[in-house]
């Protein structure tokens, strides 16, 4: 209602009325990510090689849905092991590393499906995947797993960023790999990653004098 009134007041020339309306605080939600075990289950869920490669590639390079849909075969450099992402968000190009494992899967997929221009094509050959097509691949794979988290294709990008930070990659490098325009966007993953908490023990684990054993467990549970 507030947004509608603001638009209306500006439309009729009453900018002061639009400004005087109350501000709306956006809700802050941390991104939902998949852990490494869940990712392994997801990547083998589909029976189609192309679908498995699509999901694995999105995670392996932290790609947006639009970026993976716009990839052409010529954007993959197997010798240098790089992926050239062209004119993505903010109209910027960037280069990201190509995983050795993904390179193997891509070669197998290209040999099998023989794409011509686009790396991944939709229902009509030589036509790029639609946004709904990529979403469908993710949804179908999730249905075949025991994953109950509310995740989407973009969650693979969230997982990529979080796991890079947990593996010790500095946040500036993660920003460049993701193609973020501002470091503050990347910093949200610091709230999800376990970087600073990996060596911290829960006080419950230090409550008992000895290491967790069957006797202690039987007393509690």
Q: Which residues are catalytic?
A: 64, 89, 154, 157, 180, 189
Three-state DSSP state, 121? strand
- Taking residue 48's Cβ as centre, other Cβ atoms within 10 Å add up to 13
Specify burial of residue 214 (Cβ count, 10 A radius: 0-12, 13-18, 19+). exposed
CA 13, CA 31: separation in Å to the nearest integer?
Answer: 39
CA 88, CA 144: separation in Å to the nearest integer?
Answer: 31
Strands of 76-77's sheet in order across: 76-77, 82-85, 94-97
- Give the containing element (helix H, strand E) for 94: strand 94-97
Is residue 166 within 8 A of residue 72, CB to CB? The reply is: no
Token look-up 């990712």 returns 39
Instruction: Give me the count of residues in the chain.
Output: 221
Show the tokens assigned to 69.
Answer: 């849909």
């Amino acid at each position: 209602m507030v947004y509608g009134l603001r638009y209306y007041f500006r439309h009729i020339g009453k900018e002061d009325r639009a400004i005087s309306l109350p501000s709306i605080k956006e809700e802050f939600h941390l991104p939902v990510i998949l852990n490494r075990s869940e990712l392994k289950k997801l990547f083998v869920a589909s029976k189609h090689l192309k679908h498995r490669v699509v999901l694995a590639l999105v995670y392996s390079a932290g790609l947006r849905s639009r970026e993976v849909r716009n990839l052409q075969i010529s954007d993959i450099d197997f010798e240098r092991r790089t992926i050239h992402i062209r004119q993505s968000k903010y109209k910027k190009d960037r280069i990201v590393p190509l995983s050795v494992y993904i390179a193997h899967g891509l070669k197998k997929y290209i040999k099998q499906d023989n794409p011509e221009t686009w790396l991944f094509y939709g229902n009509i050959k030589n036509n790029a995947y639609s946004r709904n097509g990529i979403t469908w691949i993710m949804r179908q794979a999730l249905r075949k797993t025991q994953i109950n988290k509310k995740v989407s294709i973009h969650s693979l990008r969230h997982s990529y960023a979080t796991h890079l930070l947990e593996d010790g990659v500095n946040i500036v490098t993660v920003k460049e790999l993701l193609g973020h325009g501002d470091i503050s966007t990347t910093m949200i993953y610091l709230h999800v990653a376990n970087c600073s908490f990996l060596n911290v023990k829960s006080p419950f684990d230090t409550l008992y004098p000895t290491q967790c054993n069957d006797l202690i467990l039987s007393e509690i549970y």
